[in-house]
Amino acid sequence: MTGSYLSNLLYVGAFMASGAALVVLILLFSKLINPSHPSPVKRSPYECGIEPVGTPWAPFAVRYYIFALLFLIFDVEAIFLFPWTITFRSLGTAGFVEMMIFIGVLLVGLAYAWRKGALRWA
Protein backbone atom coordinates (compact mmCIF):
# COMPACT_ATOMS: atom_id res chain seq x y z
CA MET A 1 0.00 0.00 0.00
CA THR A 2 1.21 3.43 -0.80
CA GLY A 3 1.58 6.26 1.68
CA SER A 4 -1.10 8.41 0.05
CA TYR A 5 -3.62 5.54 0.24
CA LEU A 6 -2.97 5.10 3.95
CA SER A 7 -3.16 8.84 4.60
CA ASN A 8 -6.49 9.03 2.73
CA LEU A 9 -7.74 6.11 4.78
CA LEU A 10 -6.61 7.90 7.93
CA TYR A 11 -8.51 11.04 6.88
CA VAL A 12 -11.69 9.03 6.27
CA GLY A 13 -11.33 7.29 9.63
CA ALA A 14 -10.73 10.59 11.43
CA PHE A 15 -13.75 12.13 9.70
CA MET A 16 -15.98 9.21 10.72
CA ALA A 17 -14.70 9.26 14.31
CA SER A 18 -15.24 13.02 14.60
CA GLY A 19 -18.75 12.66 13.17
CA ALA A 20 -19.61 9.92 15.67
CA ALA A 21 -18.14 11.98 18.52
CA LEU A 22 -20.18 15.00 17.42
CA VAL A 23 -23.39 12.96 17.45
CA VAL A 24 -22.64 11.66 20.96
CA LEU A 25 -21.78 15.15 22.21
CA ILE A 26 -24.97 16.66 20.80
CA LEU A 27 -27.10 13.93 22.39
CA LEU A 28 -25.36 14.33 25.75
CA PHE A 29 -25.69 18.12 25.64
CA SER A 30 -29.37 17.81 24.77
CA LYS A 31 -29.93 15.44 27.68
CA LEU A 32 -28.17 17.83 30.09
CA ILE A 33 -30.05 21.00 29.17
CA ASN A 34 -33.48 19.43 28.53
CA PRO A 35 -35.94 20.31 31.30
CA SER A 36 -37.69 17.17 32.47
CA HIS A 37 -40.74 17.59 34.67
CA PRO A 38 -42.94 14.55 34.05
CA SER A 39 -46.48 14.69 35.36
CA PRO A 40 -49.60 12.58 34.79
CA VAL A 41 -51.03 15.29 32.54
CA LYS A 42 -47.92 15.32 30.32
CA ARG A 43 -47.88 11.54 30.09
CA SER A 44 -51.55 11.24 29.12
CA PRO A 45 -52.30 10.60 25.45
CA TYR A 46 -53.80 13.53 23.59
CA GLU A 47 -55.66 13.38 20.32
CA CYS A 48 -57.63 16.41 19.13
CA GLY A 49 -58.76 17.23 22.66
CA ILE A 50 -60.63 13.95 23.00
CA GLU A 51 -59.58 11.11 25.24
CA PRO A 52 -58.68 8.12 23.08
CA VAL A 53 -61.01 5.15 23.20
CA GLY A 54 -59.78 1.59 22.79
CA THR A 55 -56.34 0.23 22.13
CA PRO A 56 -53.96 2.03 19.78
CA TRP A 57 -52.97 -1.31 18.22
CA ALA A 58 -56.00 -1.68 15.98
CA PRO A 59 -55.66 -4.23 13.17
CA PHE A 60 -55.04 -2.68 9.78
CA ALA A 61 -55.33 -4.54 6.51
CA VAL A 62 -51.98 -5.14 4.85
CA ARG A 63 -53.52 -4.97 1.39
CA TYR A 64 -53.64 -1.16 1.61
CA TYR A 65 -49.89 -1.03 2.15
CA ILE A 66 -49.32 -3.44 -0.72
CA PHE A 67 -51.59 -1.37 -2.96
CA ALA A 68 -49.64 1.79 -2.07
CA LEU A 69 -46.28 0.09 -2.65
CA LEU A 70 -47.42 -1.20 -6.03
CA PHE A 71 -48.54 2.31 -6.95
CA LEU A 72 -45.15 3.75 -5.98
CA ILE A 73 -43.23 1.07 -7.86
CA PHE A 74 -45.18 1.51 -11.09
CA ASP A 75 -45.23 5.29 -10.73
CA VAL A 76 -41.45 5.52 -10.36
CA GLU A 77 -40.91 3.07 -13.20
CA ALA A 78 -43.24 5.09 -15.42
CA ILE A 79 -41.01 8.10 -14.79
CA PHE A 80 -38.11 6.14 -16.33
CA LEU A 81 -40.01 6.04 -19.62
CA PHE A 82 -39.88 9.82 -20.15
CA PRO A 83 -36.09 10.18 -20.63
CA TRP A 84 -36.18 7.14 -22.89
CA THR A 85 -38.77 8.75 -25.16
CA ILE A 86 -36.65 11.89 -25.50
CA THR A 87 -33.49 9.99 -26.51
CA PHE A 88 -35.29 7.20 -28.38
CA ARG A 89 -33.73 7.83 -31.81
CA SER A 90 -30.16 8.17 -30.52
CA LEU A 91 -30.27 4.90 -28.56
CA GLY A 92 -30.83 2.72 -31.57
CA THR A 93 -31.96 -0.88 -31.57
CA ALA A 94 -30.16 -1.80 -28.36
CA GLY A 95 -31.99 0.93 -26.43
CA PHE A 96 -35.30 -0.21 -27.87
CA VAL A 97 -34.69 -3.85 -26.94
CA GLU A 98 -33.59 -2.92 -23.41
CA MET A 99 -36.73 -0.81 -22.87
CA MET A 100 -38.95 -3.60 -24.20
CA ILE A 101 -37.33 -5.96 -21.68
CA PHE A 102 -37.95 -3.36 -18.96
CA ILE A 103 -41.60 -2.98 -19.97
CA GLY A 104 -41.92 -6.77 -20.16
CA VAL A 105 -40.69 -7.13 -16.59
CA LEU A 106 -43.21 -4.45 -15.56
CA LEU A 107 -46.02 -6.33 -17.29
CA VAL A 108 -45.02 -9.62 -15.64
CA GLY A 109 -45.04 -7.89 -12.25
CA LEU A 110 -48.41 -6.30 -12.97
CA ALA A 111 -49.88 -9.64 -14.07
CA TYR A 112 -48.54 -11.32 -10.93
CA ALA A 113 -50.01 -8.63 -8.66
CA TRP A 114 -53.32 -8.81 -10.53
CA ARG A 115 -53.47 -12.60 -10.26
CA LYS A 116 -52.67 -12.51 -6.54
CA GLY A 117 -55.51 -10.03 -5.99
CA ALA A 118 -53.26 -7.22 -4.77
CA LEU A 119 -55.07 -4.70 -6.96
CA ARG A 120 -58.48 -5.31 -5.42
CA TRP A 121 -59.19 -2.42 -3.07
CA ALA A 122 -61.85 -4.03 -0.91
Global confidence as pTM: 0.48
Structural domain spans, the chain: 3-116
Q: What is the CATH number of domain 3-116?
A: 1.20.58.1610
**Tens digit of pLDDT per residue, the chain (122 long)?**
577 888 889 999 999 999 999 999 999 999 899 888 888 877 777 767 777 777 777 777 788 888 888 888 888 888 888 888 888 888 888 888 988 998 999 899 889 988 988 887 76
Three-class HEC string of the chain: CCHHHHHHHHHHHHHHHHHHHHHHHHHHHHHHHCCCCCCHHHHCCCECCECCCCCCCCCCCHHHHHHHHHHHHHHHHHHCHHHHHHCHHHHHHHHHHHHHHHHHHHHHHHHHHHHHCCCCCC
